[in-house]
Amino acid sequence: MTSARKKAAETMARIDVVIEVLDARVPEAGSNPLIRELRLHRQRPCLKVLNKTDLADPAVTQAWLDHFNKQEGVQAVALSCKKAGDAVKIPKLCLPLAPHRGTTLKPLRIMIMGIPNVGKSTLMNTLLKRRAAKVGDEPAITKSQQSFDLNDHTTLIDTPGLMWPKIEHESDGMMLAASHSIGRNAIIDEEVAAFLGDILLERYPALVQQRYKCDITDMDGVGLIEAIAQLRGFRIRGKEFDLEKAAMTLLQDFRTGALGRVSLETPSTRVAMLQQASVPAYNPAHRDS
């Protein structure tokens, strides 16, 4: 990752527009602050592509588009990178961001960035109409920068998924793990599934009830995992419930869209989380005497 960050900084000096691919279900939690830092340092405009929009809550996605489109030097669009009809729009959307480029004499140079497993390589392959970049359902498939000519006036540069050294907010880490942008070796599936379950029960109870056919009254995330294990008959050697398997079932149902269209954060929940994080913890040692 250190090498990838250094290479990205060097390449940023030679490009015109940054495409930041985001998972529409976690667009702010999954936005690497390093990408913003690099592009602002070089004063590069950004097209934020909210990918996997077919898996996200459409009303929440629209709220994020409104939020991002108010930012200076930023344009946002929601689509599925797997769909050629959606992806083909992207280079055209980049042109107004760099009106001085986009000719055979001055090709438009586009750098595709984002965290692991958000669909950067899928977007590249869809645009090029061939399997030029490796794609997989695991983080960090792309290992190095790859450059391709889309046509005689547009060049694309694909980059490895960039994570930042330390995720500041625990809830961001949980959301990234739930959406599979963090590898399984860095997390405990049951903890992530319990976190996910709490959000689903609070914001999408009807989808939970429809999927698992269980009574969710007074249920929390841990209880949902236990209920899935019981309802699906997940047991270890026929004895105690297999909570790990139940947790993975919940995570996979979210990741594949089997639960329905779900978003884990909204602009308003993001603001609330940041406000709460800024409040200093109570320390009895500092109380008034």
Residue 245's Cα: distance from chain center in Å? 24
Statement to judge: residues 223 and 91 lie in one domain: no
Q: What is the pLDDT of residues 134-160, one digit of tens each?
A: 544 444 444 567 889 999 999 999 888
Statement to judge: residues 19 and 87 lie in one domain: yes
Q: What is the mean pLDDT of residues 120-129?
A: 88
Give the CATH number for residue 80.
3.40.50.300
Whether residue 101 lies inside any domain: the answer is: yes
- What percent of the chain stands above pLDDT 90? 69
Statement to judge: residues 96 and 144 lie in one domain: yes
Domain boundary among 158, 177, 207: 158
- Give the pair of three-digit tokens for residue 28: 């702010």
Find where tokens 């993001």 sit.
Answer: 270
Whether residue 116 lies inside any domain: the answer is: yes
Give the CATH number for residue 256.
1.10.1580.10
Higher-confidence residue: 243 or 283? 243
Q: Which of 38, 28, 49 is nearest to 127 (CA)?
A: 49
What pLDDT is attached to residue 122? 87
Statement to judge: residues 109 and 30 lie in one domain: yes
User: What Rg value do the Cα atoms of the chain yield, rounded?
Assistant: 21
Whether residue 181 lies inside any domain: the answer is: no
Statement to judge: residues 9 and 145 lie in one domain: yes
Query: In 10 A of CB 275, how many CB atoms?
Result: 9
Indicate whether 247 pLDDT > 60: yes
- Give the pair of three-digit tokens for residue 285: 């040692």
Statement to judge: residues 127 and 198 lie in one domain: no
What pLDDT is attached to residue 7? 83
Statement to judge: residues 262 and 146 lie in one domain: no
Whether residue 289 lies inside any domain: the answer is: no
Indicate whether 173 pLDDT > 90: yes
Indicate whether 36 pLDDT > 60: yes
Least confident window among 116-130, 199-213, 238-252, 272-286: 272-286
The structural domain count of the chain equals 2
Statement to judge: residues 210 and 113 lie in one domain: no
Statement to judge: residues 125 and 198 lie in one domain: no
Statement to judge: residues 146 and 84 lie in one domain: yes
Domain boundary among 139, 158, 177: 158
Between CA 22 and CA 118 the distance in angstroms is: 6
Q: Which of 118, 116, 10, 101 is nearest to 56 (CA)?
A: 118
Whether residue 177 lies inside any domain: the answer is: no
Which strand (E) or helix (H) includes residue 94? helix 89-94
Indicate whether 274 pLDDT > 80: yes
Statement to judge: residues 142 and 30 lie in one domain: yes
Mean of the per-residue pLDDT values of the chain: 89
Higher-confidence residue: 286 or 254? 254
Statement to judge: residues 144 and 32 lie in one domain: yes
Q: How confident is the model at residue 5 (pLDDT cuts 50, 70, 90)?
A: confident
Indicate whether 133 pLDDT > 90: no
Domain boundary among 158, 174, 199: 158
Whether residue 172 lies inside any domain: the answer is: no
Whether residue 244 lies inside any domain: the answer is: yes
Domain span holding position 101: 2-158
Specify the DSSP class assigned to residue 115: S
198-to-27, 195, 201, 251, 264 alpha-carbon distances in Å: 19, 5, 5, 12, 11
Whether residue 173 lies inside any domain: the answer is: no
Q: Which of 89, 160, 146, 57 is nearest to 118 (CA)?
A: 160
CB 158 within 8 A of CB 171: no
Between CA 223 and CA 107 the distance in angstroms is: 56
Give one DSSP letter per residue of 198-256, joined into a string.
Answer: HHHHHH-HHHHHHHH----TT--HHHHHHHHHHHHT-BSTTSSB-HHHHHHHHHHHHHH
What pLDDT is attached to residue 184? 66
